[in-house]
A and B are shown apart, each in its own frame.
Chain A
Amino acid sequence: NAGVTQTPKFRVLKTGQSMTLLCAQDMNHEYMYWYRQDPGMGLRLIHYSVGEGTTAKGEVPDGYNVSRLKKQNFLLGLESAAPSQTSVYFCASSLLLPSTDTQYFGPGTRLTVL
């Protein structure tokens, strides 16, 4: 049972480049989330999904897009990367509402934008 996996683990981009981060979970969870973690700012929610085919904006959605075409996958896209998007990105999933259920986190993706 792999839980939540993230691909890639590390990435360096140049300003203006695009990329997609992949999150996969094998727990049949309905809810999935993308967070970014920056020093001194904790975790901030970028986008989330309450089920296959649905997405919603979180606290800091600008510059990111997401898709949830399959229940087990949640993709985070950066269309035109900026240095301000240098961060560690975490994906998480939960079976039920996150306010009442445990969120399971992936190991993170460290992204540097030059």
Chain B
Amino acid sequence: AQSVTQPDIHITVSEGASLELRCNYSYGATPYLFWYVQSPGQGLQLLLKYFSGDTLVQGIKGFEAEFKRSQSSFNLRKPSVHWSDAAEYFCAVGSRGGNKLTFGTGTQLKVEL
């Protein structure tokens, strides 16, 4: 069975600082990996996804993530955080041909001005 671990429940960064949110997955084959963001009171929105190929993927809002098979990780990064990035971030894993995604428990990001 596939699973996702987001070890950080809360993270606080200063505006303009760099950001890295951790995601570790468990899956026997090549996983399909996603990062979604949830702004307060909203549904989730896709930031980026990885299926194959280049292990560094670019997403919306200046985010990127790197797939590292050896570490079973798919960490999300942003070079300079904006106050509007304050939200909850979810990593998710899917399997090839699978009907569903498995979500992590989320990381709540707070941005200090």
Q: Which residues of A contact B (CB under 8 A)?
A: 4, 31, 33, 35, 40-45, 48, 50, 56, 58, 90, 92, 97-100, 102-103, 105-108
Among B89-105, those with CB < 8 Å from A are 90, 94-101, 103-105
Q: How many contacts A-B (CB < 8 Å)?
A: 65
Q: Are A48 and B99 within 8 A (Cβ)?
A: yes
Nearest CB of chain A from residue B26's CB, rounded to whole Å: 15
Q: Tell whether A100 pairs with B44 under 8 Å between CB atoms, given A33-B100, A42-B103, A42-B106.
A: no
The yes or no answer to B28 lying at the interface (CB within 8 A) is: no
Q: Which residues of B contact A (CB under 8 A)?
A: 9, 32, 36, 41-46, 49, 51, 90, 94-101, 103-106
Q: Are A97 and B97 within 8 A (Cβ)?
A: yes
Q: Are B99 and A100 within 8 A (Cβ)?
A: no
Q: Are A43 and B90 within 8 A (Cβ)?
A: yes
Q: Are A58 and B43 within 8 A (Cβ)?
A: no
Q: Are B43 and A90 within 8 A (Cβ)?
A: yes
Q: Are A99 and B44 within 8 A (Cβ)?
A: no
A107 to B43: give the CA distance in the assembly, Å: 4
Q: Are B100 and A90 within 8 A (Cβ)?
A: no
A40 to B98: give the CA distance in the assembly, Å: 25
Q: Are B94 and A99 within 8 A (Cβ)?
A: yes
Q: Are A107 and B9 within 8 A (Cβ)?
A: no
Q: Are A99 and B32 within 8 A (Cβ)?
A: yes
A106 contact set on B, CB distance < 8 A: 43
Query: Which 3 A-B pairs rank lowest in CB-CB distance, beginning with the nearest?
Result: A99-B94, A105-B43, A42-B105
Nearest CB of chain A from residue B49's CB, rounded to whole Å: 7
Q: Are A4 and B43 within 8 A (Cβ)?
A: yes
B90 contact set on A, CB distance < 8 A: 42-43
Offer 9 A-B interface pairs, CB within 8 angstroms, sorted by A: A4-B43, A41-B105, A42-B104, A92-B43, A97-B94, A98-B98, A99-B32, A100-B32, A107-B42
For A45, the closest partner residue in chain B by CB is B100
For B106, the closest partner residue in chain A by CB is A42
